Amino acid sequence: MAVRIHPSILSADFANLERDLGAIATADYAHVDVMDQHFVPNLTLGLPVVRRLAQVSPVPMDVHLMIEDADRWAPEYAAAGASSVTFHAEAAQAPVRLARELRERGVRAGIALRPASPVEPLLDLLAEFDMVLVMTVEPGFGGQSFIEGTLPKLRRLRQAVRESGTGTWIQVDGGVSRDTIGRIARAGADTFVAGSAVYGAADVAAEIAALRELAEAPIQA
């Protein structure tokens, strides 16, 4: 099972985003959080910025939409240059239809769950999604502490992916660091979003490598 590290530019310097994207060239994707101050109590960036970042990023863009009316806006982010677009189950009226539309546009389709949202409604629909994102903090702000109670959800999801044979990626976003990534990987995640852990490090590339190694260890054991 491959391990993927997706540094979150929410923790980057917004005045130097192109520079800070260059710093994560050894990562698998750049994780871009889009927030609308309605679905979550924070406002970040939108379509024009994502479109421009996609033109200069050395790695593919993994866009995480924490916005209302995902059915309307998710395809626009696919058109803006994202390689993967993740929308929240709680914000989509027709998640399967939306995922199919994203795939038709040539991007990976992901669906996200807040920490308290159950994973069970998705288990029979895994073939419709390229990735399931389990939020391990409440969405809206970076730098929060990991919620341990989300680990059983990851275990149930990993078992379902294994049984289904879909190859759906399991992504975790929130509180990922050297201290937590090993047990998150043991619970079943294979794709890890890390913001402050990466951008707060003295050597960004070395931190990405360290997180990758720590995540691979329990998977290979």
Mean pLDDT, the chain, integer: 94
% of the chain beyond a pLDDT of 70: 96
Q: Which of 20, 28, 33, 62 is catalytic?
A: 33
What distance in Å separates the CA atoms of residue 49 and residue 54, rounded to the nearest whole number?
A: 9
Query: How confident is the model over 121-143, as a mean pLDDT?
Result: 89
The per-residue pLDDT for 42 is: 82
What total number of domains does the chain contain? 1
Q: What is the CATH number of the domain that holds 77?
A: 3.20.20.70
When pLDDT is cut at 50, 70 and 90, the band that residue 218 belongs to is: confident
Question: Cα-flanking dihedrals φ and ψ of residue 175, to 5°?
Answer: 70, 20
Query: Is the pLDDT score of 152 beyond 70?
Result: yes
The residue annotated as part of the active site, out of 20, 28, 62, 173, is 173
The radius of gyration computed from the CA coordinates of the chain, to the nearest angstrom, equals 16
Alpha-carbon span 178 to 165, nearest angstrom: 30
Region of poorest pLDDT, from 37-41, 189-193, 211-215: 37-41
20: annotated active-site residue: no
**Domain span including residue 126:** 4-220
Q: Are 4 and 191 in contact (CB under 8 A)?
A: yes
Q: What is the mean pLDDT of residues 6-12?
A: 96
Per-residue model confidence (pLDDT) at position 114:
94
Active site residue 36: no
